[in-house]
Amino acid sequence: MIPILHIADMHLGRRFDRFGEFGRTLRGQVRQTLVDLLRAAGNEYQLVLLAGDVFDANRPDIKEVRALLEAVRAIDAVPVCLLPGTHDRLSADSVYRRPEVWKQRPANLHIFSEEQGCFYFERLRLAVHGRAARPDFGGQSPLVGIQPHPDARFNIAVAHSSIPFAQAQAEDGEDYCLRAEDAAASRMTYIALGHWHRFQDCFPGNQPPVFYAGCPEPVAFDGTETAGSYARVMISESGVEVAPQTSGKYRWRDLELDVTGQEDDIAIRHALGEAAGSQYAVRLTLRGQPAGQWQPASAALEEELGGSFAYLAIRDETTRQADIAQLRGRFVANSLGDFFCRAVEEKLQSATPEGHRHWQEVVRRGAALLLNKEEVGE
């Protein structure tokens, strides 16, 4: 049984400027989470896979590079295979072409390049294959040209790639795209992916197993609650076992609250009270149509309640009741504004309650555009 640590998408050096003080703290925590995982790997694993986007860009601060190199050097008995991803591509300005990476890298750090697409570890009788992400390979399979090593019991492919899904086929000219049929034909034992930031069995029931490891320290809101993760992979003659492991310090919560009919901030305070915690980064989006003239004081609430969170943002996307007759009176007859108001009035008269809310929002946004105001968004 060979225990393998599968990590992806660390994004070392991301600036997080829009998060203020929390952004500066988070940047250091991302680095510390990687150091902690690699330190533990020295006792628990026989191989480490870094499946792309170790760095957030190709010009990271030197201390980010040194942190990686020192953490890898500290587990010198464990081979670490690193694949350049989409943020740290193997381009002309790649961080992996910089002298401090190539010349000072530990002997156990193996970086995929154009010249080196396979590393064979005789002690494990295991080969690790990878195609580094390049600017001109979008839409291709990341497994093109990869063949099992003739002396290996086990062959692992590492890729930084999208997979097809219902809304898109991931052929945007930037990403590799791994399809189930390509994986099935690869003759690999396991395929370790990076690029999408959630642990996922990509093609359930298929062989070989193909998994995203997730992001060890989450770096953005994604519409749900997010925790850091990586994959623990156990390979033996009897098969492959892959299990998600929780990691990182912070948890990200993306919440929504409908304040339709509300006249004060009691519901907002209650929702935030239930979500509070020093390890939570929370973004609360307010929707619906408040009663009367009440408008949530988002900035004041952030300042008052922010101390109960690692980070707090409140987005006010509520709508207001619009008086279509009053608005129509602001435009001359047969003008564009007049035509708009008459058309919406007709819709409002026959609308269902749900449709009525929709057309009220049309009025709000249309008025903002027609009157050259700036409070309308996308």
Q: pTM of this prediction?
A: 0.82
Question: Does some domain include residue 376?
Answer: no
Same domain, 147 and 239: yes
Closest CA to 13 of 50, 51, 68: 68
The CA distances from residue 50 to 104, 112, 378, in Å, are 18, 11, 37
Same domain, 311 and 335: no
Question: Residue 43: how many CB atoms within 10 A of its CB?
Answer: 8
| Across 122-141, average pLDDT | 83
Assess whether pLDDT exceeds 70 at residue 138.
Answer: no
Strands 126-130 and 2-7: unpaired
Place of tokens 């935030």: 272
Question: Does some domain include residue 52?
Answer: yes
Question: Does some domain include residue 253?
Answer: no
SS3 per residue for 92-123 = CCCHHHCHHHHCCCCCCEEECCCCCCEEEECC
CATH number (domain holding residue 58): 3.60.21.10
pLDDT tens for residues 45-55? 999 999 999 99
Closest CA to 157 of 247, 74, 69, 233: 233
pLDDT of 136: 63
* Lowest-pLDDT range of 34-43, 231-240, 325-334: 325-334
3-class DSSP state of 310? strand
Same domain, 111 and 224: yes
Question: Residue 326: how many CB atoms within 10 A of its CB?
Answer: 10
Same domain, 65 and 137: yes
Question: Does some domain include residue 156?
Answer: yes
Same domain, 284 and 336: no
pLDDT of 174: 65
Question: Does some domain include residue 254?
Answer: no
Cβ(197)–Cβ(214) under 8 Å?
yes
Look at residues 297, 316, 335 and tell me which one is the last residue of a structural domain.
316
Rg (CA), the chain: 26
Place of tokens 């010198």: 76
3-class DSSP state of 211? strand
Structure tokens given for 313: 């943002």
pLDDT tens for residues 56-96? 999 999 999 999 999 999 999 999 999 999 999 888 889 99
Question: What is the domain count for the chain?
Answer: 3
Same domain, 136 and 271: no
- What percentage of the chain has pLDDT greater than the value 90? 65
Cβ(199)–Cβ(213) under 8 Å?
yes
Question: Does some domain include residue 378?
Answer: no
Alpha carbons 321 and 332: distance in angstroms, whole number:
23
pLDDT of 376: 43
Please count the helices (runs of H) and the strands (runs of E) in the chain: 9, 15
Tell me the pLDDT of the chain averaged across its residues: 89
Domain extent at residue 331:
325-370
**CA neighbours closer than 13 Å in the CB half-sphere of residue 375:** 12
Alpha carbons 188 and 199: distance in angstroms, whole number:
20
Assess whether pLDDT exceeds 60 at residue 378.
Answer: no
Same domain, 189 and 286: no
Assess whether pLDDT exceeds 50 at residue 374.
Answer: no
Question: Does some domain include residue 280?
Answer: yes
Structure tokens given for 105: 């890298």
Look at residues 248, 274, 301 and tell me which one is the last residue of a structural domain.
248
Same domain, 238 and 340: no
Same domain, 243 and 131: yes
The CA distances from residue 19 to 31, 181, 282, 310, 375, in Å, are 17, 41, 11, 10, 23
Same domain, 159 and 106: yes
**CA neighbours closer than 13 Å in the CB half-sphere of residue 261:** 0
Same domain, 14 and 151: yes
Question: Does some domain include residue 377?
Answer: no
Higher pLDDT, 199 or 365: 199
Same domain, 8 and 108: yes
Alpha carbons 192 and 153: distance in angstroms, whole number:
17
The angle at the Cα of 72, spanning 12 to 189, to the nearest 5 degrees, equals: 90
